[in-house]
Structure 1
């Protein structure tokens, strides 16, 4: 059960969206920070999208932190957990698989949500919409769902108590840049042993694992509109440009592209230009 008494991923224990004769039903959920819909599945496709706030979706395929500019297409039958990473309003279209055969994604897929997609979702939320306009709007929404090259920043926590102690410490203080040799002196293992443990138990070398963890720590701060320099310092990067370069390399988008509401920040603009090679660092 979630913190606000919701079960099975649906309010009041309801397991699936109400039966309708439409291709798309739009569910509306007000989710205070920390609200969680525990692991569940749907017999229909879901487009997990927050009209406001930050939505976290986890599945066996990855973990995604989604601002209003992005949504996650979750195919029918895929187990997933949904959580409000901030005070969130989720407006989630549920799509009948029999009436959306043009979408062939079999894994969770991140898609862009711009003004057109947002307007169509709001339009389809009107249950009094006549059949003709609804059918046309449903077809347009499905037609304009466009994947974006976002990489999941999920990290696996190691099981070995020595490596796990390091993981917990870095989760609490992601800017800590100590090498494995220094951590080894603290937890009682050699750097070589710790390096082997991280690869064996997380699937990533320690450096890559830490960078992904830093990106996870950065996203809620970026979503809250924190200054880029502040986010950079909090996550262990000496400059805003070095943080933007790392974000782009790991996530697949720049912070400006991921959180377009903050694209007017001069620090973001200058750092993105450096990443693209238009300004010397």
Structure 2
């Protein structure tokens, strides 16, 4: 196994890692997995891997950032990070993170095509992506994926030290075959438009900020339609759904930390735990309690 992908020694809350281009490091595996329970809150500054990375958690919630987009990784929703994509990460104390690395040509070497996450049209590469990534059928942009019971069991099987080569290859093929995009994702895209910066700064500083679209329209002296169009152009969401995405992402970390539901609802600006739960389900397709550990 390449030293670059050995489990890093617990060196404290700051983990410096290299910037690697896709396929730039020779490895002697098709896939390899790592995992760690963090004793302290930990930060990985900008780095990139020569191989694809599939991330998920056994416990807790981590956040990963690519450019101005931030994903939250949980036990139920993981993240596919393509080889060569520059990203940073933060995990709170107590998080049990998992990662499985796949070589850039894993799907071709395993004889796969047109199933699972393959064969889909990828959106334009996000800011921070290292250019000249080799073409392949696996997603070339970060993608939220469902960590189902089957996917988890297959990934756990890959961690066995007694797995025969033929069984390992079959298991790797099954993982990539059944891996599917999540219909919901804990993603916040921070818009860059100057008009929206007062809104973005206010909501990120305090997700409970109760100012409505009409309030911001009057404060910024522009029409509600202008604000809505600016949000749609950059994030694909309207004002209310963008605010909701910020609240859900922030709440996800608090849920993983075990904060009381009533306290989280209040901190996110909802009048009750039931109102928060309803909004959470609408945006994510799951219940807040499903993210407890």
- TM, length-normalised to structure 1: 0.70
1:94 equivalent to 2:127? Answer no
State the secondary structure of the residue aligned to 1:154: strand
| Preserved CA contact (<8 Å) 2:18 2:47 | yes
| Preserved CA contact (<8 Å) 1:55 1:66 | yes
| Preserved CA contact (<8 Å) 1:163 1:198 | no
| Preserved CA contact (<8 Å) 1:149 1:253 | no
Structure 2 Cα separation of the partners of residues 17 and 134 of structure 1: 22
Query: For structure 1, which segment, 101-110 or 238-247, has the greater mean C-alpha deviation from structure 2 after superposition?
Result: 101-110
- Give the direction of change, closer, same or farther, for the CA distance of 1:146–1:180 in structure 2 (3 Å limit): closer
Higher RCO structure (Cα 8 Å, ≥6 apart): 2
Using the TM superposition, give the Cα deviation of residue 141 of structure 1 relative to its aligned residue in structure 2, in angstroms: 3.1
Using the TM superposition, give the Cα deviation of residue 138 of structure 1 relative to its aligned residue in structure 2, in angstroms: 2.5
- TM, length-normalised to structure 2: 0.68
State the secondary structure of the residue aligned to 2:189: coil
Task: Tell me the equivalent position of 2:263.
Answer: 230
State the secondary structure of the residue aligned to 1:215: helix
1:207 equivalent to 2:237? Answer no
- Choose the corresponding residue for 1:8, options 4, 7, 18: 18
Aligned residues: 249
Using the TM superposition, give the Cα deviation of residue 37 of structure 1 relative to its aligned residue in structure 2, in angstroms: 4.3
State the secondary structure of the residue aligned to 1:177: coil
Q: How does 1:102-251 map to 2 (within 5 A)?
A: 102=113, 103=116, 104=118, 105-106=138-139, 107-127=141-161, 129-160=163-194, 163-179=196-212, 182=215, 189-190=220-221, 192=223, 196-197=226-227, 199-200=229-230, 202-203=234-235, 204-251=237-284
State the secondary structure of the residue aligned to 1:245: helix
Structure 1 Cα separation of the partners of residues 58 and 252 of structure 2: 17
Structure 1 Cα separation of the partners of residues 196 and 185 of structure 2: 24
Structure 1 Cα separation of the partners of residues 49 and 191 of structure 2: 24
Structure 1 Cα separation of the partners of residues 265 and 155 of structure 2: 35
CA RMSD of aligned residues (A): 3.6
- Choose the corresponding residue for 1:19, options 5, 14, 27: 27
1:45 equivalent to 2:76? Answer no
Unpaired runs of at least 5, structure 1: 263-281
| Preserved CA contact (<8 Å) 2:81 2:143 | yes
Using the TM superposition, give the Cα deviation of residue 25 of structure 1 relative to its aligned residue in structure 2, in angstroms: 1.3
Task: Tell me the equivalent position of 1:83.
Answer: 89
- Give the direction of change, closer, same or farther, for the CA distance of 1:111–1:210 in structure 2 (3 Å limit): closer
Unpaired runs of at least 5, structure 2: 1-11, 119-137
